[in-house]
Amino acid sequence: MSRMKMEQTFESLGNEGKKAFIAYIMAGDGGLENLKHQMLSLEAAGASVIELGIPFSDPVADGPVIQAAGQRALAEGVTLRGILEELARIKDDISIPVVLMTYANPVLRLGADTFAEMSDEAGVSGVIMPDVPLEESGEFEVPLRRYDITMIRFITLSSSEERIKEVMEGAEGFIYAVTVRGTTGARAGFDASLYDHLESISKMTDVPVCAGFGIGSREQAEAVGSHCDGVIVGSRIVELMHENNIEEIEALIPENADIAINASN
């Protein structure tokens, strides 16, 4: 049911001619007691999907903004187990799909089977693990599949055509297209070749393609989103959520989309 929820979201957006806006926040930044309010605020602002980051001490794919958010959450004593328990408590209040972004270590510490079971109880639709290559994903993907939870796959700017085809084979939910070389964090702009890249890979699959990393403004979200199925915004939203500036978050979301923001930007 969780995976179906995400599929239905993308299908509905496509039928309405809209793009997904996936909004990333760090779970526990500001305390787990504020997570429900933060998620409801994103939903009310127009996010299509929430990408919920799991704090980790060595977040190799994250830039300084998300690293700082993770450190604040860890200082609050936030754990993966605690996040999943809180999500299970509030899941009936959240209408849009929730995707977890976690590194492998917290999942291994909890146990892949336990993680999958608790994610199901928490209503999680998908899981993103940026430090787990496709060839090593089975340890995590097999338990998640038992509960119909999707493991989201990545395509980077350096991925060869052969690699792109490997990633697309069996991909579900959406494909995470990384828009920059390097870690997360807003960028001043993007090279025009990115748009050709996004259009090219979108034509190769029926699975929605959402672009993330580096998108920090409404204008960038509109520009990037026009060449794929959605955008993922992270760092800018994390900054604004930390400042409790919901109005600025609303201003990020393009008018022509229920843009699904997914990725640590």
Catalytic one of 7, 29, 51, 222: 51
Q: What is the rounded distance in angstroms from the CA atom of residue 211 to the CA atom of residue 223?
A: 11
Catalytic choice (7, 29, 62, 239):
62
Residue 115 · residue 136 · CB < 8 Å = no
Per DSSP, the three-state class of 256 is: coil
Active site residue 113: no
The rounded Cα 58 to chain-centroid distance in angstroms is: 18
Residue 135 among the catalytic residues: no
Give the number of other CB atoms < 10 A from CB of residue 170.
11
Task: Please state, in angstroms and rounded to a whole number, the distance separating the CA atoms of residues 137 and 151.
Answer: 9
Encoded tokens for 52: 């919920």
- Tokens of residue 154, six digits: 């990545």
Q: What SS3 state is found at 1?
A: coil
CB-CB contact of 171 with 151 (8 Å): no
Question: Which positions are catalytic?
Answer: 51, 62
